[in-house]
Amino acid sequence: MSMKLRFNKDVRGSVAEELKKISTYGGLGLGVLGYSNNSPAIVLGAFVWWVIRQTIAHLLLSIEDN
**Over the stretch 16-52, which tens digit does the pLDDT of each residue have?**
898 889 888 988 888 888 889 998 888 888 889 889 9
Instruction: Confirm whether 53 is domain-assigned.
Output: yes
Instruction: Confirm whether 2 is domain-assigned.
Output: no
Instruction: Confirm whether 15 is domain-assigned.
Output: yes
Instruction: Confirm whether 1 is domain-assigned.
Output: no
Instruction: Confirm whether 4 is domain-assigned.
Output: no
For 22, the domain range is 9-62
**Total domains present in the chain:** 1
pLDDT value of residue 65: 66
10-46 in b/e burial notation, b at 16+ Cβ within 10 A?
A: eebeeebeebbeebeeebeebbeebeeeeeeebbebb
Instruction: Confirm whether 47 is domain-assigned.
Output: yes
pLDDT value of residue 55: 92
0.75 cut: is pTM over it?
no
